[in-house]
Amino acid sequence: MGAAAERQDPFAEAAAEARHRLVTELAAAGVLPDPAWRAAFEEVPRHLFVPYYYVGVMGGYERLWRDDPDPEGRWQWLEGAYEDRPLGTRLRDGDLVSSASQPSLMAEMLHALDVRDGDTVLEIGAGSGYNAALLAHRVGDENVTTVDLDTDITDAARAHLEEAGHHPAVVTGDGARGCPGRAPFDRIIATCALPSVPEAWLAQCRPDACVVAPLSTGVLRLRVQDAEHAEGRFLHTSAYFVPLRGGTPAAPEPRTGGLPRRALDADLFRFLLTLTSGSLDPYEAYALWQRERRPDRERYGVTVRGDRQWAWLDDPEGPYSWSLGASGRSRQVY
């Protein structure tokens, strides 16, 4: 944030202290090993991107906001802006349609993106603009493009970014289509959950580009060979994001009737169940999960070859694989 903006921000001093505490917490958790990303989290003021936000309470959501006439309410807003938790930023008909992601998860995803100086980055899901600001701090405003479907979201993100002193390209459009007018990209990062990898993204990537995106309840990291070929594995972490909206069909809801409660309560089984929804019978998924000794997310991956893409366990050509997207057949050997 520039000096002029700091002078105009009555919360700047308290926010800097809260931000330092957050960064210390993230560093202690091991999610900020790169000094460049640590500097970005230390210097980009998250509170400017969430002038109000929603937190879950019994029966719905409570709004905390910067201009609360109650000083205690303003203090709660500021403290909450620097807690390591996601913050809902947009409600529509009682449902969250946009949010500011949990900082520790953002740090892990940004580290996995493996950016280098001068890389061009496309972000799918502008949200509050905070993630775009972190990217802009790292690679420069001119190298960052962020896309979101709704004008009200992109307008707000652009205003937040300007207040924080950053001016990346903020584009209103369907994130599943990428942003061909700003391509090619060295890196693509999504902050919304996908049912499959949009074909348009690979076509807008340079060779050896990296794509980091939430899929199922995990985070997928792909290396792009060319416009029709990419492959990668999931990170270890769990991830729950607002779904990508636009032209991409939503993933089918997995059937869970009759499955043991201990399985439904297990995060790693829910990951497998969601990943294979529409391709694998839930009872077969449960049998596989038990037989393979409850595999961690890192054992799963995704391969894209032309108009086919599939998820797999351990080996892309191995016995366990499941089609992603609307077409294709899954292969299962038991």
Choose the catalytic residue: 101, 128, 216, 279.
101
The residue among 23, 21, 12, 71 whose CA lies nearest residue 47 is 12
196 is catalytic: no
Whether the CB-CB separation of 189 and 214 falls below 8 Å is answered with no
State how far the Cα of 27 lies from the Cα of 236, in Å rounded to an integer. Answer: 18
Instruction: Give the 3-state secondary structure of residue 292.
Output: coil
Q: How many helices and strands in the chain, by DSSP H and E?
A: 11, 15
- Whether the link from the prior residue into 249 is cis, omega within 30° of 0, is no
Whether the CB-CB separation of 246 and 230 falls below 8 Å is answered with no
Helix or strand run (H / E) with residue 74: helix 71-81
The residue among 194, 136, 193 whose CA lies nearest residue 161 is 136
To the nearest 10 degrees (0 to 180), the angle between helices 282-291 and 267-275 is: 130
Cα first-last separation, the chain: 56
User: Side chain identity at 123, as an amino acid letter?
Assistant: E
State how far the Cα of 296 lies from the Cα of 298, in Å rounded to an integer. Answer: 5
Centre a 10 Å sphere on the Cβ of residue 333 and count the other Cβ atoms it contains. 7
- From residue 92, give the alpha-carbon distance in Å to each of 96, 98, 174: 6, 9, 18
User: Side chain identity at 1, as an amino acid letter?
Assistant: M
Helix or strand run (H / E) with residue 81: helix 71-81
Q: Which two tokens stand for residue 196?
A: 């499959």
Q: Which two tokens stand for residue 3?
A: 């000096």
Q: Which residues are catalytic?
A: 101
